[in-house]
């Protein structure tokens, strides 16, 4: 593929992302609702750490760090648009057949739209999360330098989640209703990903299981940066994250080929 061709293809997908971001910006009530929801969850869990006495929770991390941990993990998770629903709706209605004949990859365009929307959500929810965390915990973490690493790791986390959502959405070609898959994936992300509190608080055996999966990369990896300055850990998480991005793209290529074949066989 020549450089000019790459530029054209990239331009097409960027146009999809920009259009989706503009659409998401127009839906202000959804954005405000998500910000408020984030604040509500942060409030509820800040109460838990307050009641427990967070000093006994994790050595080196107090109530303030744990609230910031949750703020970062919720920021990553709530920024992911429900891409699987969009794909499922098009498969159900049959509209996917019209999308497939366009001169742009179906899955690629869907992912681009989700990335555009996620970028906007990250930009809006980031300051909201920081503001709520600051207000509820009374300041920044003891060593706030780690928060800088949370930004790129949050982007990688969101990208991994979008790719997973695309895979769940594509499963609609086989099972029609993808919600059950989503629920399970979402809850695995919550539990094995360490959404609500750091994996370090889990029993050792469960920590080992969690780290053998990609789920911590979507929550724990960026959020862990709120607990202290850990550049080596950040680099390791980023590399692991990129590896999983590659694996998931490979999976999506295989799934979309099979889905296309299945659609042709059944007549769309």
Partner 1 sequence: MALRPTLRFARALVATNLRASLALRGAFWLQAAFMVANNLAFFTTWWLLFARFHDIGGWQLRDMMTVFGVVASGFGGSVVFGGGARRLSRMISDGGLDPLLVQPKPVLLHAVGSASTASGWGDMTTGVGMLYLAGRLDFETLPFVLLAAATSATVFVAVAVLFQSLAFWLGDVEQLSRQLWEFTLTFALYPRPLFSGGISFLLYTLVPAGFAGFLPVEVVRQPSLLLCLAALAAALGWWLLALGVFALGLRRYESGNHFSARG
Report the interface residues with partner 1, using CB under 8 A. 29-30, 33, 36-37, 40-41, 43-44, 47-48, 51-52, 56-57, 177, 179-181, 183-184, 186-188, 190-191, 195-197, 201-203, 206
Least distance from C-beta 139 to partner 1, angstroms? 21
CA distance 54 to 60: 10
CB distance 99 to 169 below 8 Å:
no
Within 10 angstroms of residue 26's Cβ, the number of other Cβ atoms is 9
In Å, how far are 18, 64, 111, 148 from 201, measured between CA atoms? 40, 16, 34, 23
Q: What are phi and psi of 61, to 5 degrees?
A: -130, 125
Within 10 angstroms of residue 254's Cβ, the number of other Cβ atoms is 11
Least distance from C-beta 44 to partner 1, angstroms? 6
Least distance from C-beta 197 to partner 1, angstroms? 7
Least distance from C-beta 120 to partner 1, angstroms? 17
CA distance 218 to 157: 4
CA 78 to chain centre: 7
Give the nearer residue to partner 1 in terms of CB position, either 112 or 178: 178
Least distance from C-beta 31 to partner 1, angstroms? 10
- SS3 string, 52-82, reads HCHHHCECCECHHHHHHHHHHHHHHHHCCCC
DSSP 8-class letter at 61: B
Give the nearer residue to partner 1 in terms of CB position, either 184 or 253: 184
CB distance 210 to 192 below 8 Å:
yes
Give the nearer residue to partner 1 in terms of CB position, either 194 or 241: 194
Give the nearer residue to partner 1 in terms of CB position, either 71 or 107: 71
CA distance 99 to 155: 28
Least distance from C-beta 167 to partner 1, angstroms? 17
DSSP 8-class letter at 180: H
Least distance from C-beta 170 to partner 1, angstroms? 18
Give the nearer residue to partner 1 in terms of CB position, either 134 or 181: 181
Give the nearer residue to partner 1 in terms of CB position, either 112 or 224: 224
Give the nearer residue to partner 1 in terms of CB position, either 47 or 262: 47
Within 10 angstroms of residue 100's Cβ, the number of other Cβ atoms is 16
């Amino acid at each position: 593929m020549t450089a000019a061709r790459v530029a054209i293809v990239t331009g097409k997908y960027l146009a999809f992302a920009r259009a989706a971001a503009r659409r998401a910006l127009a839906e202000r009530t959804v954005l405000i609702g998500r910000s408020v929801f984030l604040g509500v969850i942060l409030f509820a869990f800040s109460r838990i750490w307050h009641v427990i006495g967070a000093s006994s929770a994790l050595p080196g991390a107090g109530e303030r760090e744990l609230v910031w941990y949750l703020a970062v993990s919720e920021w990553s998770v709530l920024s992911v648009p429900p891409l699987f629903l969009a794909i499922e709706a098009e498969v159900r209605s049959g509209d996917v057949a019209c999308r497939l004949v366009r001169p742009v990859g179906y899955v690629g365009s869907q992912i681009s739209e989700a990335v555009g929307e996620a970028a906007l959500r990250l930009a809006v929810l980031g300051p909201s999360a920081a503001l709520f965390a600051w207000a509820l915990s009374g300041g920044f973490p003891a060593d706030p330098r780690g928060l800088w690493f949370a930004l790129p790791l949050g982007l990688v986390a969101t990208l991994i989640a979008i790719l997973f959502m695309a895979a769940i959405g594509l499963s609609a070609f086989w099972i029609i209703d993808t919600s059950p898959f989503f629920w399970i994936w979402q809850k695995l992300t919550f539990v094995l990903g360490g959404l609500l509190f750091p994996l370090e608080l889990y029993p050792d055996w469960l920590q080992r299981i969690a780290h053998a999966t990609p789920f911590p990369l979507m929550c724990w990896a960026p959020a862990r940066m709120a607990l202290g300055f850990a550049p080596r850990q950040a680099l390791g998480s980023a590399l692991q994250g990129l590896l999983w991005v590659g694996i998931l793209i490979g999976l999506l290529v295989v799934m979309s080929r099979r889905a296309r074949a299945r659609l042709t066989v059944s007549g769309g």
